[in-house]
Structure 1
Amino acid sequence: MKDAFGTPQSLLVLGGTSEIGLATARRLVARRTRTVWLAGRPSPALEKAAAALRDLGADTRTVAFDALDPDAHEEILGKVFAEGDIDMVLLAFGVLGDQARDEAEPRAAVRVAQTNYTGAVSAGLVCARALQHQGHGSLVVLSSVAGERARRANFIYGSSKAGLDAFAQGLGDALHGTGVHVMVVRPGFVRSKMTAGRKDAPLATTPDVVARAVEVGLRRRQEVVWVPGTLRVVMSALRHVPRGVFRRLPV
């Protein structure tokens, strides 16, 4: 159960090597989170991340999980929940893809969509049912401002995040009143390994800043969190820009 300050005592990170996911885990472990599950493809990076959290005092375990294998999600995640209640699930996996390559190679584009959307739908529903069964917990979904309006520069990634965002909001409505809290997090450009080599977008942020926003959002039981908060106003304006004008904007 969460403590009196709303901090989860147990955490499951789907996407166990995600920089945002690990930054969030470190921040929560520094508070009162004591049990952490890192779910991801088996790799030295996953084990290294688990070891680092153990050094911070968390009972950290790894579990083999692949977003692209939804047939296994129910069994794998069911075993995690069978070990004890999970106070918070952080759905942090995703791929940016390469827009030019993905347009030229539809199979690559489908892989982006399957990872960011259909894999997330599968894992999200499995975890939501488990959280509802235990009667409490938070499901935090990392979306993106890229899903707010498709841009020429990354509409494949953006469309996958748009689908994820709509799914998570609908799931939150479906779970309202059950004791399960769903929070959608919409970061802007995040400086990380995923975006290495790319020019910073305006209002660029970092995994640690996103992690802090997640923690604050949990405490306040927010349903949508923008990182940075200024993006709420910026994207509200961009959504209403006429399409002909939007096409000419350097976004």
Structure 2
Amino acid sequence: MKDAFGAPQSLLILGGGSEIALATARRLVARRTRTVVLAGRPSPGLDAAAEQLRGLGAAVTTIGFDALDPASHEDVLGKVFAEGDIDTVLLAFGVLGDQARDEREPGAAVTVAATNYTGAVSAALVCGAALRRQGHGSLVVLSSVAGERARRSNFVYGSSKAGLDAFALGLGDALRPDGVHVLVVRPGFVRTRMTAGLAEPPFTTTPDAVARAIETGLRRRARLLWVPAPLRYVMSALRHLPHPLFRRLPV
């Protein structure tokens, strides 16, 4: 349960190696979160993340989790919730893909879609049902501004995030009567290992900035966050731009 100050005491991260997720975990642990479960594919990176959070005073466990294996999600995640209530779930896994390769190789595009959308739908539904049974908790879903309007440069990734975004907003409406809070986060370009080497557009942000926004959004029980906030207006303008003009933009 959340403590007297409204801070989550337990956190489950799906995509335990995500830099945004770990930045968020560090902030929450520095406040009052004491129990963290990192779910992801076993790797030295996952183990290092666990050790980092233990060094901050959290009790951390790791579990094997594969977004591309939805058939395992109920069993794997069910065991986490069976150990005790989870105050906050952060769904942070995803892949950027390679647009040129994804267009050439349909199988690669399917992997992007299956990870970012199908796997996320499965995991979110399993966690949402568990939070509903608890009668409380928050589910944070990392979406992207790329889902706001598909662009020529990354429409495979963008379409997967568009689907996830719409799904998560609907899930939030479905779970709200049961006391469950869903927060959808739409970061812009985030400076991480996944984006290393790519040209940084205006409004580029950092994992720590996204983490600060998530912490605030949880406290305020927000439904939707843009990071940085001005992207709300930029993307609104792009969304309503006539397509012949939008198509000519270098995006």
TM-score, reference length from structure 2: 0.99
Shift of 1:3: 1.9
CA distance in 1, matches of 2:183, 2:3: 18
Residues 36-84 of structure 1 deviation map (CA, whole Å, 9 limit, x = unaligned) = 0000000111011001100100000000000000000000000000000
State the SS of the aligned residue for 1:94.
Answer: coil
State the SS of the aligned residue for 2:178.
Answer: coil
Shift of 1:5: 2.7
CA distance in 2, matches of 1:40, 1:108: 20
Residues 124-178 of structure 1 deviation map (CA, whole Å, 9 limit, x = unaligned) = 0000000000110000000000000000000000000000000000000111221
Which position in structure 1 is the counterpart of 2:38?
38
Q: Which runs of 5+ in 2 are unaligned?
A: none
TM-score, reference length from structure 1: 0.99
Which position in structure 1 is the counterpart of 2:171?
171
State the SS of the aligned residue for 1:209.
Answer: helix
Equivalent residues, number: 251
Percentage of pairs with the same residue = 76
Which position in structure 2 is the counterpart of 1:110?
110
CA distance in 2, matches of 1:239, 1:5: 39
Which position in structure 2 is the counterpart of 1:86?
86
Which position in structure 1 is the counterpart of 2:236?
236
Shift of 1:249: 1.1
Is the contact between residue 6 and residue 218 of structure 1 (CA under 8 Å) also seen in structure 2?
no
Which position in structure 1 is the counterpart of 2:139?
139
Which position in structure 2 is the counterpart of 1:201?
201
Is the contact between residue 113 and residue 156 of structure 1 (CA under 8 Å) also seen in structure 2?
yes
Residues 86-120 of structure 1 deviation map (CA, whole Å, 9 limit, x = unaligned) = 00000000000000000000000000000000000
State the SS of the aligned residue for 2:39.
Answer: strand
CA distance in 1, matches of 2:117, 2:169: 13
Is the contact between residue 26 and residue 53 of structure 1 (CA under 8 Å) also seen in structure 2?
yes
State the SS of the aligned residue for 1:163.
Answer: helix
**Aligned pairs (5 A) from 1:147-162:** 147-162=147-162
Matching residue's letter, 2:231: L
Aligned: 1:97 with 2:97: yes
Which position in structure 1 is the counterpart of 2:7?
7
CA RMSD in angstroms comes to 0.5
Aligned: 1:17 with 2:17: yes
CA distance in 2, matches of 1:66, 1:6: 31
State the SS of the aligned residue for 2:60.
Answer: strand
Is the contact between residue 188 and residue 205 of structure 1 (CA under 8 Å) also seen in structure 2?
yes
Is the contact between residue 185 and residue 224 of structure 1 (CA under 8 Å) also seen in structure 2?
yes
Shift of 1:6: 2.2
CA distance in 2, matches of 1:112, 1:176: 29
Is the contact between residue 5 and residue 219 of structure 1 (CA under 8 Å) also seen in structure 2?
no
**Aligned pairs (5 A) from 1:54-65:** 54-65=54-65
Which position in structure 2 is the counterpart of 1:67?
67
Shift of 1:250: 2.0
CA distance in 1, matches of 2:4, 2:142: 25
Shift of 1:4: 2.8
